[in-house]
Structure formats: structure tokens, C-alpha cells
């Protein structure tokens, strides 16, 4: 099955500025793809190119395996812009009916479509309200209904969660799940990674017009996570724990430098298979917690380290790997 959305070396310039630089993006059919990047990264530009509202400077867009044309973009794509225009003195049902007319639907089909869409986005009760009187969250939902009028297989949602309260975000998430069950392919943008990580099965991070990393949430996490961290909590005498760990760290450094190991008691006690420790980090929120940064660490190495600390008389109450939150990874990645 060809990908629902594919871009090949997609590039867009505004004058001399490159807003999008050789972007290769692939979204499989049925995916919910989170497109994440800071302000000015090129998200809106990409979405507008995919929707056929902007022409590429070079490169290509493919939709459902076919090269994009004006007609195919209109038929295959539903686009929800980050800010929708205001339509004064139009009621909710009239607003949707207007766009259904634009797609040439007959009266009976329009009525049916408007009813189903209002039901889908939870605006049935507001069908007679004026569009300009809807709350921000309701306007977002109406805008989504608008994008769905012609039942396109691909949806492009630009910052759909911005300005929504926590409850509205949960509702948006549920709506996205429903869209997925309907078989739609959804690409949505945000500058907040954690907002998308739960709903999306794939994410891509864009910065300054370039894709930095993309793939499943798990793949991205693995790609970004350079160093592993262990977290341990000591019951008392944190210093003793730290000095035992520092000793290990120094030994590792000496070994790196090619110095011969000295046959001290400590070395003799040292169990085999300990992880190479890079540095110790204090946890500002809990003085009893020590974060241990290592290179990749496996379970055997973890067990060996715990055994070593216990042999040193350190009272460890908690011990495990610390998973860096996606938000932390994102900030580290997009830091200037």
C-alpha cells in the first residue's frame, strides 16, 4: 500500500529565505502523525503545501501514491488552518451547508452530511447558534467539521489543540481516535510534543525547515536518548553512596586512560559487569535521590551495580532506569 502522504525533497522559499529545506516525509495510511516543531519551523508551510494551497519551490508531494494536482488535493485532503476566518451572521448549520454546496451536494445529501458532522464533533445542540458566538473550542470543532465535509481520506490539522482547555484537549483526542477508526489518515501539528505523544503513532520533529527525526514514538525516543540514566534513592547516608559511585567512575576513567588497575581491596570487591558511569546528577526535588548517567545500560549491569552498592553497605530503597520525558528530549534537541 502506498503511503497516504509522501513528500520528496520538498522545498519552499519565501524570497531568499528557505522555510522548508528538502523535506522527506512519509505518513502511512491510517496513521495519526504528529508534526512537531517550535515557532517558525515550517509546519504551517508544510501543511499548506500538502493541501495544495502553496506551490513548492522544488520537490514533490504525493497523495495516496499519486503526484499531487490541484484536483487531487481538493478531493483527498481536508485542511483545518491554525486560524479560521470569521463568518459573521452565519449559523453553525448554515456554515456547514454553505461548504457542502461548494462541493456540489444536493439538498438531501447536504442535510444528511451536516447532521452527521454536527453529531461527530458534538455541536448538534449549537446548530442554530451564530458562528461568531461559539467558544474557541467549539470553533475549532466546527472548523474540523468543515474540513470533513467532502469526506476526504487525509486530514491536515494545523495546531488543533492550541487554545483548548484540558477537557477540550481530551475531547479532541477522542475525536482523533474516532477519525482513526473511520480509516482517516491524520497529520496534525503542534509545538508541544507531550500533547501529541499519546495520540500519535508516528511523530516527526522539524526545526528550521529540516526534519530532525521521525518515526514511531518509541523509535524517536530511542534515537534521541543518547545516554541512559539510572535513578536510585538511598535511605540514609547519601555521601557513602556517592563516594562508592565516584570510585567506580574514577576506575572507569583510569581504565579509559590505559592506566593499570591497582589491586586495592575495593577493586577486589568489585563485581564484574558494572556499567560505565559518566556522571552523577543530583535531583533538586529530592535530596535522597541520585541520578546516575551511564552509557547504554542493560539489566545485568543494573543488577551488578545494585549488588556492588549493597556490598558497600548502602541502603538503597529505590533503584531503576529513568526514562527521560519526551518533552525533555525535545527541549534538548531544539535548544539553540
Ligand X SMILES: Nc1ncnc2c1ncn2[C@@H]1O[C@H](COP(=O)(O)OP(=O)(O)OP(=O)(O)O)[C@@H](O)[C@H]1O
The footprint of ligand X (CB under 6 A) covers 14, 19, 37, 39-45, 191
Q: Which is nearer to Mg ion, 44 or 111 (CB)?
A: 44
**Cβ 54 to ligand X shortest distance, Å:** 9
Q: Which is nearer to ligand X, 189 or 301 (CB)?
A: 189
- Indicate which of Mg ion, ligand X, none lies near residue 45 (CB less than 5 to 8 Å, by partner kind): ligand X
Q: Which is nearer to ligand X, 62 or 191 (CB)?
A: 191
In sequence order, the 6+-apart residues with CB closer than 8 A to the CB of 146 are 80, 84, 95, 96, 99
- Indicate which of Mg ion, ligand X, none lies near residue 191 (CB less than 5 to 8 Å, by partner kind): ligand X
If one asks whether residue 28 binds Mg ion (CB under 5 A), the answer comes out as no
Which of 241, 231, 235 is closest to 325 using CA atoms?
A: 231
Helix (H) or strand (E) holding 121: none
If one asks whether residue 22 binds Mg ion (CB under 5 A), the answer comes out as no
**Cβ 27 to ligand X shortest distance, Å:** 17
**Cβ 82 to Mg ion shortest distance, Å:** 5
If one asks whether residue 111 binds Mg ion (CB under 5 A), the answer comes out as no
> Contact, 22 vs 10, CB < 8 A?
yes
* Alpha carbons 35 and 5: distance in angstroms, whole number: 13
If one asks whether residue 72 binds Mg ion (CB under 5 A), the answer comes out as no
Which of 97, 89, 139, 134 is closest to 114 using CA atoms?
A: 97
- Helix 217-224 vs helix 326-334: crossing angle, to nearest 10: 60
- Indicate which of Mg ion, ligand X, none lies near residue 41 (CB less than 5 to 8 Å, by partner kind): ligand X
**Cβ 36 to Mg ion shortest distance, Å:** 12
**Cβ 223 to ligand X shortest distance, Å:** 21
**Cβ 194 to ligand X shortest distance, Å:** 16
Q: Which is nearer to ligand X, 190 or 294 (CB)?
A: 190
Which of 86, 95, 133, 132 is closest to 117 using CA atoms?
A: 95
Q: Which is nearer to Mg ion, 43 or 270 (CB)?
A: 43
**Cβ 34 to Mg ion shortest distance, Å:** 14
If one asks whether residue 44 binds Mg ion (CB under 5 A), the answer comes out as yes
* Alpha carbons 273 and 271: distance in angstroms, whole number: 7
In the structure, how many helices (H) and strands (E) does the chain have?
12, 14
Q: Which is nearer to ligand X, 203 or 241 (CB)?
A: 203
Between the alpha carbon of residue 206 and those of residues 107, 203, 302, the distances in Å are 43, 10, 35
Write down the residue that cell numbers 494545523 correspond to.
158
If one asks whether residue 162 binds Mg ion (CB under 5 A), the answer comes out as no
If one asks whether residue 84 binds Mg ion (CB under 5 A), the answer comes out as no
In sequence order, the 6+-apart residues with CB closer than 8 A to the CB of 294 are 227, 228, 229, 230, 275, 276, 277, 278, 301
Q: Which is nearer to ligand X, 204 or 275 (CB)?
A: 204
- Site residues (vs Mg ion, CB under 5 A): 43-44
Amino acid at each position: 500500500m502506498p503511503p497516504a502522504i509522501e513528500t520528496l525533497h520538498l522545498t519552499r522559499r519565501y524570497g531568499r529565505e528557505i522555510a522548508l529545506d528538502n523535506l522527506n516525509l512519509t505518513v502511512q495510511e491510517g496513521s495519526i502523525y504528529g508534526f512537531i516543531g517550535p515557532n517558525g519551523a515550517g509546519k504551517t508551510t508544510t501543511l499548506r503545501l500538502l493541501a495544495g494551497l502553496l506551490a513548492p519551490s522544488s520537490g514533490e508531494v504525493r497523495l495516496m501514491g499519486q503526484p499531487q494536482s490541484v484536483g487531487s488535493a481538493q478531493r483527498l485532503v481536508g485542511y483545518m488552518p491554525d486560524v479560521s476566518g470569521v463568518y459573521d451572521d452565519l449559523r453553525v448549520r448554515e456554515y456547514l451547508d454553505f461548504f457542502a454546496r461548494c462541493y456540489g451536494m444536493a439538498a438531501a445529501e447536504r442535510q444528511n452530511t451536516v447532521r452527521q458532522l454536527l453529531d461527530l464533533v458534538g455541536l448538534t445542540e449549537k446548530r442554530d447558534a451564530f458562528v461568531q458566538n461559539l467558544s474557541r473550542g467549539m470553533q475549532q470543532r466546527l472548523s474540523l467539521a468543515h474540513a470533513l465535509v467532502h469526506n476526504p481520506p487525509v486530514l491536515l490539522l494545523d495546531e488543533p489543540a492550541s487554545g483548548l482547555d484540558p477537557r477540550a484537549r481530551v475531547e479532541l483526542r477522542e475525536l482523533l481516535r474516532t477519525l482513526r477508526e473511520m480509516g482517516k489518515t491524520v497529520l496534525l501539528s503542534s509545538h508541544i510534543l507531550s500533547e501529541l505523544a499519546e495520540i500519535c503513532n508516528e511523530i516527526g520533529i522539524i526545526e528550521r525547515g529540516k526534519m530532525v527525526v521521525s518515526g514511531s514514538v518509541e523509535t524517536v525516543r530511542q534515537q534521541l536518548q543518547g545516554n541512559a540514566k539510572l535513578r536510585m534513592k538511598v535511605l540514609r547516608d547519601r555521601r557513602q553512596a556517592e563516594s562508592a559511585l565516584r570510585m567506580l567512575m574514577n576506575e572507569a576513567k583510569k581504565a579509559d586512560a590505559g592506566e593499570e588497575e591497582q589491586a586495592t581491596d575495593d577493586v577486589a570487591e568489585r563485581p564484574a559487569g558494572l556499567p560505565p558511569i559518566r556522571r552523577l546528577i543530583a535531583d533538586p526535588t529530592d535530596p535522597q535521590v541520585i541520578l546516575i548517567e551511564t552509557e547504554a545500560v542493560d539489566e545485568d549491569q543494573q543488577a551488578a551495580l545494585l549488588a556492588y552498592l549493597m556490598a558497600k553497605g548502602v541502603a538503597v530503597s529505590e533503584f531503576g532506569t529513568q526514562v527521560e520525558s519526551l518533552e525533555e528530549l525535545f527541549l534538548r534537541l531544539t535548544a539553540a
